[in-house]
Amino acid sequence: MIQPAGTLLRARRSAGLSQAALARRAAIAQSTISRIEGGRLDPTWSTMHALLEATGWEVNAAAGPQSELIAPETAARSIAEQLGRGDIDGAARDLAESVGRLIRYLDEHPGVEPPAWAVAAPKTADLPLMWSTFLATGFAYALQSTGRAAPPWMLNAPALPTETALGFEPSPRFREWLRARTPEVFRQKNLLSRAEDWSIA
């Protein structure tokens, strides 16, 4: 995977361009270029593509297996947007899709660690406690269930004060049934969720 800061800096310097000259060529603000090169901005693909082409690089992109992954940051933003619209089911689907894609990728690539960005702690989305704990624990489950170690940010998510299922309140009888099918990593956080809830087709 390309590292935007180093790649752009190398391309710009090898083309003999200042940041200002590259900004004029690519029609992208010099401040954006400065932030990318300083590692303070993760650019979109279209921005990076335009900047690299403006330095004379030929850019040929092909989707690899990692292109299917959804980073925790992206998942958190999507969940926050869905919750902002009052769509709890949509938020739950987005969370399950993100975790399910990671599980599928890890199952299909035994012995391969996921890219760092695919398991990095989210920084921007401000989620309610239940959702942030489900997000962290879901990603931890994906890693642990495929034989990988989960990073501290996932494991250190706070447990909920009471047992909680995602999106509904189970009856006492269903709660018992669900608890018996919930993996330990979720039970430790007072979350109720079956393993199959995180699988995608």
4-54, CATH topology level? 434 Repressor (Amino-terminal Domain) (1.10.260)
Q: pLDDT tens, 154-180? A: 999 999 999 999 888 999 999 999 999
Ordered DSSP codes for 53-115:
HHTT--------GGGG---HHHHHHHHHHHHHTT-HHHHHHHHHHHHHHHHHHHHHSTTPPPP
Distance CA(187)–CA(26), nearest Å, equals: 51
High-pLDDT (> 70) share of the chain, %? 96
* Domain range list for the chain: 4-54, 67-198
Q: What is the mean pLDDT of residues 22-40?
A: 92
Single-letter amino acid code for the residue at 103:
I
Q: pLDDT tens, 82-108? A: 999 999 999 999 999 999 999 999 999
User: Residue with structure tokens 């590292």?
Assistant: 3
